[in-house]
A and B are shown apart, each in its own frame.
Chain A
Amino acid sequence: MSAVKRRYERIYLNLVYRTMSSPTADYTLRTYYRQEFDRLRGEFEANGSGESSVRDRTAVVDKLALQLWEQHVVARAHSGFALAALGGFGRRALFPYSDVDLLFLAENEALRASMKEPVRSICQEMWDIGLRVSPTTRTLDDCARFDQDNVEFTISMLDCRFLAGDEALFKRLSEKVLPQLVARESDVLVQRLAEVTRTRHLRFANTTFHLEPNLKDGPGGLRDSHVSQWLGVIAALDPGRRQPESLSLQHGSEGKELLDAIEFLSATRCYLHYRAKRDENVISWEAQDELAAKGIATKSGTISSAEWMRLYFRHARTNYRNTNQLLEQVPGSRSSLYRSFQRWRSRVSNEEFSVVDGRVYLQQAVGARDPFVVLRLFTFMARHGVALSLETERRIKNASRALTDAMPQDARMWEHLRELLALPHAAEALRLMHSLNLLTHAVPEFEAIDSLVLRDLYHRYTVDEHSFLAIEVLHRLKNKDVEWLQPFGELLSELERPELLFLALLLHDTGKGLAGTDHVHNSLQLAAAAVERMGLPAGDEQTVCFLIAAHLEMSSTLRRRDIYDPETVRELASKVGTTERLKMLTLLTLADIKSVNPEALTPWKAENLWRLYAGTANYFDRSVDEERFHAEVCTEQVERVAALLPKRRSQLLKFLDGLPQRYLMSHSPDQVILHFEMASQLRKEPVQLGVRRVSGQHELTVVTTDRAGLFSTLAGILYGWGMDITKASAFSNRAGVIVDSFYFKDRFHTLELNPPERERFKKSVIEILMHEAPLDPLLESRLKADTKPAKLKVETKLRYDDESSPSSTLLEVITQDRPGLLYTISSTLANENCSIEVALIDTEGAVAHDVFYLTRDRMKLAREQQRAIEWALTTELSDSLPNNW
């Protein structure tokens, strides 16, 4: 049909409406609506404008409503009755298949009752025309009444618009009743609106980044822009309420950004409605392809589906941030405790950042141009969980060019990132960095997965959001709010270097953004480049790369292998190598599964993962002397070490001969070389010592020739000096050279505060080991000092295992940690003439967990020897508890 013909037909129909009163009117109106609907659809297909499409449909429905009003009401009531539009109809934003919300406003009950029939007729005819009508009839008094259980009606009135009837009556509603109601109930209204919105966001896991997003109700969807408008209207109607700070109220580029977002979402929603011929709001994969191919809402015509979705996420993110900024200013139904907390948070302000009402500001505006200040700002947010103020966000956006040009990508970046990643609100800070386009400049490898949609039925979020969620999942374990996840929370607290795990999570799927089917290989390539550029130490680099290379290993084992089969456990253990790596891989697997979709990690899967972890961890503890290094069979690890000393390869292999594989797994090549050099000096000095600081603790390494009671003497010396041993290991090679390592906390800061004490400490260790000084005086003075009671009581458990090792009896000791514990245990074992072949000492909070590989006269322990040791240990461990323990 030509445009001219359509125009004439509209003129004709308009004339008909003015005069029609016959029973055929409904047929004519239906034809009119269908033709107008087709015209609007044609215009949308031609110009792609969502805003004009919804505005024009509103105008068409306005006309129909007016016509029906004239037909059914005018003859019966001239005053005291009015028709108003509500919801999207009231906002003049009627999408093609949206409901038409109508308010029939009566001055009193009598009028309401008498107009029942005309109202029914209007609604019936609108249905017949093809409009989904949602009517409500209220008196003015009804509207003035605030119903706690139906706050939605009051909110819907915020959009009301006069259509027909008694305009003076409507003005009483819009200019008197409604403002008074809002002014009186604004706190409850705002709180309820915030609650409903937060609940809605939670239904979508508080993220815009769904693979098939809902553009109406999802976070960042059109409903969010309505919430912003309503909050603005409430603030305008309530003189006592401060106008909220938001993008929507900003002028210039930020306000335009939001308007662009709303136009994008509107155009997309129009398309979805026309496409599905119903009120469809989910952007399915098929719809994404069509939207991209037709260039809907784009300024550049046809683009790829991935590019179109990036546009969508950018606009949705803008809308979501705006709504969140407004919601954060709503105190809601928070308790006074929460408000006190908000005030408390302001006390975290420092010389660089101030916190006001839970929002962080730069103390110096110029800081927004300094990437290091901005990185510290994100670290500050990750630590305290505070939101960014709009003002600071604007400053950062304005300085975007300067920031990205000067953003460090080397070791200085890792200095910031390592701190940020391990903080409780790291995921929120990373998301914000990403939305401000800074993360991809800090870690360019992340750009490959920016808003990347990968289509499968299992994943629900984009790849970047999946990575942020995985980091969030691990941090939330600390909340201990899910019972079946608590063992994993404990595991996380035991990690020595959690930041390496978090970095691996950030990068583990970056390879999905590259071409090819092996995303693990691609991610590994990208991660290797990232960790090298950021200058991570060699050992840390290897750990991150290992975690990424193996990130599907445990999932695959759970799916494909019998986790109770010892061979499954042995294979996994040989791939993982150390308990620390096993803990990290377990947590990475858990986070990776849980962040795929909210239902992906069931208690059943988590339990199986835990059993696989526990079985493998036990295997590590029980298999140490089963797998010893033999000089004639070189492993990859040995070759890596030997490559560092090519000229002394044979001496190195001799040193390593007979050491457990675990020794090689748990020490870096540099450490092994250091121990080898120490062993080479034993002819000159029979006791070689090394003391260094590691991750906030001290490490004492002793290399010497084995002798009776050596391990317990070392434990005693450390106790005598007031040190708290948290971890220890004892290994020996075939030639009888021992490598004992103790990690300890300097309880009284003796070594930290008095540098000369460091040398005195080393001298003391050597003199006692060489029998040049006695141990007892050192111990006696310490025993008198340590009488502090424990906060938590742990029952002592002793367990023997004769099966796991071919040559030793394993003794597992679980007991209350206390000063001098390791000395108590090891000296008791020495008194029972036991030789400690291997010792694995660990402490988790108040619980000590020690495993000893014991022999007596180079044999496993006989039953009666085991019983004697058990009795002696039980007695000693009971006696060694200070009073009140």
Chain B
Amino acid sequence: MTKLEAVIQPSKFEDVKDALLEIGVEGMTVTEVRGHGRQKGHTEFYRGREYTVDVLPKVKIEAVLPDRLVDPAIQAITNAARTGKIGDGKIFLSRIDDAIRIRNDERGETAL
């Protein structure tokens, strides 16, 4: 099993969610986050007030996947979230030892 964490543009969330559902990813955790990578921030003005936008709004999607779904999920996310500009986001993968469904103690991939 692999844990996938994708940090994407908020405007791409709906498309990414639909793409993941289409390939069979049934569960995910979604968090509203702020951050920056190479995109960094910029300065904005409104009515003379200066706003330093050093962390930008992003959406973080977390999902633990059976290994067979990892590559399709990466493909689905990159296809749906890519604009080609700086700030499209990143995907992080990490190994997961086990999963337990609290309701009935199922373990491993069956618990996903």
A841 to chain B, nearest CB (A): 13
B14 at the A interface (CB under 8 A): yes
A779 at the B interface (CB under 8 A): no
Q: Are the CB atoms of B34 and A799 closer together than 8 Å?
A: no
A420-428, A516-524, A557-565, A759-767 - interface stretch: A557-565
A776 at the B interface (CB under 8 A): no
Give complex CA distance A614, B11 in Å: 18
Q: Are the CB atoms of B11 and A849 closer together than 8 Å?
A: no
Q: B31: nearest residue on chain A (CB-CB)? A: A604
Residues of A within 8 A of B83 (CB): 562
Residues of A within 8 A of B46 (CB): 614, 617-618
Instruction: Pick the most buried of A558, A562, A602, A849: most chain B CB atoms within 10 A of its CB.
Output: A562
A607 at the B interface (CB under 8 A): yes
Q: Which of A547-567 contact B (CB under 8 A)?
A: 558-564
Residues of B within 8 A of A607 (CB): 57
Q: Are the CB atoms of A614 and B34 closer together than 8 Å?
A: no
Q: A795: nearest residue on chain B (CB-CB)? A: B48
B72 at the A interface (CB under 8 A): no
Q: Which of B31-79 contact A (CB under 8 A)?
A: 32-34, 44-48, 51, 53, 56-57
Q: Which of B82-108 contact A (CB under 8 A)?
A: 83
Q: A561: nearest residue on chain B (CB-CB)? A: B11
Give complex CA distance A605, B32 in Å: 8
Residues of B within 8 A of A618 (CB): 44-46
Residues of B within 8 A of A561 (CB): 11
With contacts A559-B13, A618-B45 taken as known, whether A604 is within 8 angstroms of B34 at the C-beta atoms is yes
Residues of A within 8 A of B34 (CB): 604
A433 at the B interface (CB under 8 A): no
User: Which of A608, A797, A812, A814 lies in contact with B10, CB distance below 8 A?
Assistant: A608
A799 to chain B, nearest CB (A): 7
Q: B48: nearest residue on chain A (CB-CB)? A: A814
Q: Are the CB atoms of A812 and B48 closer together than 8 Å?
A: yes
Q: Residues 387-414 of chain A: 1 if any B CB is under 8 Å from the residue's CB, otherwise 0?
A: 0000000000000000000000000000
Q: Are the CB atoms of B53 and A611 closer together than 8 Å?
A: yes
Give complex CA distance A604, B30 in Å: 13
- Interface extent on B, as a size class? 10 to 19
With contacts A562-B9, A799-B45 taken as known, whether A614 is within 8 angstroms of B51 at the C-beta atoms is yes
Give complex CA distance A602, B10 in Å: 14
Give complex CA distance A563, B12 in Å: 12
Q: Which of A598-634 contact B (CB under 8 A)?
A: 602, 604-605, 607-608, 611, 614-615, 617-618
User: Which of B11, B45, B48, B53 lies in contact with A559, CB distance below 8 A?
Assistant: B11
Q: Are the CB atoms of A608 and B57 closer together than 8 Å?
A: yes
What is the number of residues of chain A that contact chain B, defined by CB distance less than 8 Å? Answer: 24
Q: B49: nearest residue on chain A (CB-CB)? A: A814
B8 to chain A, nearest CB (A): 11
Instruction: Pick the most buried of B33, B44, B47: most chain A CB atoms within 10 A of its CB.
Output: B47
A786 at the B interface (CB under 8 A): no
B48 to chain A, nearest CB (A): 3
Give complex CA distance A558, B46 in Å: 19
Q: Are the CB atoms of A560 and B57 closer together than 8 Å?
A: no
Residues of A within 8 A of B13 (CB): 559
Q: A812: nearest residue on chain B (CB-CB)? A: B48
Residues of B within 8 A of A849 (CB): 47-48
Residues of A within 8 A of B57 (CB): 604, 607-608
Give complex CA distance A416, B108 in Å: 66
Give complex CA distance A617, B51 in Å: 14
Instruction: Pick the most buried of A564, A799, A814, A847: most chain B CB atoms within 10 A of its CB.
Output: A564
A685 at the B interface (CB under 8 A): no
A415 at the B interface (CB under 8 A): no
Q: Are the CB atoms of B10 and A558 closer together than 8 Å?
A: yes
Give complex CA distance A108, B53 in Å: 71
Q: Are the CB atoms of A844 and B14 closer together than 8 Å?
A: no
A742 to chain B, nearest CB (A): 20
Q: Are the CB atoms of B14 and A560 closer together than 8 Å?
A: yes
Q: B42: nearest residue on chain A (CB-CB)? A: A564
Residues of B within 8 A of A559 (CB): 10-11, 13-14
Residues of B within 8 A of A799 (CB): 45, 48
Instruction: Pick the most buried of A611, A799, A844: most chain B CB atoms within 10 A of its CB.
Output: A611
Q: Which of B1-35 contact A (CB under 8 A)?
A: 9-11, 13-14, 32-34
Given contacts A617-B47, A799-B48, 6 further A-B contacts (CB under 8 A): A560-B14, A611-B53, A799-B45, A812-B45, A847-B48, A849-B48
Question: A-B pairs with the 9 shortest C-beta distances?
Answer: A814-B48, A614-B46, A604-B32, A797-B48, A562-B11, A849-B47, A561-B11, A608-B57, A560-B11
**Which residues in A have some Cβ–Cβ distance to B below 8 Å?**
558-564, 602, 604-605, 607-608, 611, 614-615, 617-618, 797, 799, 812, 814, 844, 847, 849
A–B complex contacts, Cβ < 8 Å, 12 sampled: A558-B10, A559-B11, A562-B9, A564-B56, A602-B32, A604-B34, A611-B44, A611-B53, A799-B45, A812-B48, A814-B47, A849-B48
